[in-house]
Chains A and B, each alone.
Chain A
Amino acid sequence: MSSSLEKNMLILRSSDGEEFIVPEVVAVMSKAIKNMVEDECASNTIPVPNVDANILAMVIEFCKKHDESEAEAASDLKTFDSEFVNRGQEALYDLITAANFRDVKELLDALCQNVAEMIKGKSVHHIRIQFLGYQLFEILTSNFIWNIWCDRDFD
């Protein structure tokens, strides 16, 4: 199979074993993969652990669009980015983890911007429940003096 592969193509294998054939120019938008390719420590198939097929497909879609549209107007790309990051909570944060792990800067920037837009209107209480649910018990007990001080001082 690898012999029939075109020269500039790479195979990415997701954590659940699915394989994606992508052009090298697209794959190297991930700095982590770029380093592997440059160091020639990558065989034709590059494993992408921690990223499942679903998320990997999204990351590839994003990279392909950014690779194709280099010459296109920046505003078109902006529209694409804002639509791309507009996803369900679970996928959004999985994408952030994947983008961070694979080091895809453009994707990470767009995603973090989206999260910032989502949380900027939220209350502190809401943020605690959403992001620190598992720590809430600890926060409420060991930090209760801290909370009292904060709530008094800032409200």
Chain B
Amino acid sequence: MSSSALLHRPQRRRISTTTTLTLTSAERVINNDDLLKQILIRLPAKPLFSFKRVSKRWLSLISDRYVLRDWIPPISPSSFFLRRYSTPSSRSVNFNHVSLLPSNSIRSFDFVNDPNGVKISQSCNGLFLCSSSCFTLDYSDTRYYLLNPTAKYFSTIPRPTNGDDRNFVVSMNLAFDPSVSFHYKLVALRSKRWCGPDFQTAIYSSQTRTWTFSEVSYAYSTRVVFENRVFLNGKIHWPSCQSVRSIYYDVNQARLFPLPMPHCLLTKDLLYFAESGGRLQLIEFIKNCSRHFYVFELETDYSKWFVKCRVDLKLAVSAFPEMYHEHADHPCMGYTFKVLCFFGGDVEGDSCLVLYIPGKVISYNLRVLGRFAI
């Protein structure tokens, strides 16, 4: 039976005549499809889907595409995945996943049976793009996987080959926006060799399960950090080092556009490039140094970057002295931390940094210090 038929099914006369007078206020609210929908879209995912069992009417509402479209996702994440191999030789396997909720269990990607283990290369709206080799290094036997960590589902992506000699994948990128479509796309940049002079794009769609190849070539810049990409609003953004220009790819227009950079960044290892609240953010760190840094944010019209906030980790250092080790050469050197995530709220003070310091993951707010031990 279609959902609309269920929704508009007239109530049976037996009920409406005998019990109308005894309806409580709550029942009256819940009986209104619009109001019930307003309540349901504010529920977290887990209770929402378990409430499918309440009745047929709730099931049809919760399964309704138009209800799901308006669902309000939780503002704060429940856990983090770190870019590590699922089956590394080191002892820190547990480190792949940091949960911020006590109930969440540690997840691993053992369900992908790759002998080399898989490494997350990109996360995009709940899906992961994983590869069996490190970062953008691509070999003819590198396998690419698309992973749904919640459903423990994965699918193997065929290599983008169409018979020409562009066998090298410079960068594989995932574009998935469930508010637009439940189908994902992959964008591969193909080159003739590692750091070749130019590359062409190829698009894979989960709808057709085939690669579509583009004939247009783009000049290759080694300054673009291809392994650090962010998908946002239908565009894949890459930062760049030692250059004030970078590129982004518009998936709908299937074209590359220039992207400004705030200044000439020095090294890609010390770069934080991510998205929060629909905006792109960028932090550059100075090696082993200084608890001060700036968070840049890109204007929505892509014209320029502005300083979102200036961060001083003084409070964090006093609370967690293990962040700092005496350094002989320079007093401001010797800070050990890594920014995992930045959340920029609309209200000043809602901004929050998630930091990795030796042995711990902490969240750092301007006023509140929350601590999450691993």
Contact = CB atoms under 8 A, between A and B. Distances in A.
Interface stretch (A11-19, A61-69, A113-121): A113-121
Given A124-B51, A150-B53, A93 B42 contact: no
A134 B27 contact: yes
A124 B62 CA distance: 14
A130 B15 contact: no
Interface in B32-70: 32, 34-35, 38-40, 42-44, 47, 50-56
Interface stretch (B18-26, B235-243, B289-297): B18-26
A154 B53 contact: yes
A128 B26 CA distance: 12
B55 A120 contact: no
B25 A89 contact: yes
B25 A97 contact: yes
B27 A131 contact: yes
Contacts of B51: 124, 127
A116 B15 CA distance: 27
Nearest to A117: B42
B267 to A, nearest CB: 39
Contacts of A90: 24-25
A152 B56 CA distance: 16
B55 A100 contact: no
B33 to A, nearest CB: 11
A81 to B, nearest CB: 14
Nearest to B47: A120
Interface string A85-118: 0000110111011001000000011001101100
A27 B54 CA distance: 38
B29 A93 contact: yes
Given A94-B25, A132-B30, A124 B50 contact: yes
Contacts of B42: 112-113, 115-116
Contacts of B55: 128, 132, 135, 139, 143
Contacts of A71: none
Given A74-B347, A143-B56, A120 B43 contact: yes
B26 A131 contact: yes
Nearest to A94: B25
Contact of A151 (B12, B28, B30, B53): B53
A130 B23 CA distance: 11
Nearest to B49: A154
A76 B38 CA distance: 24
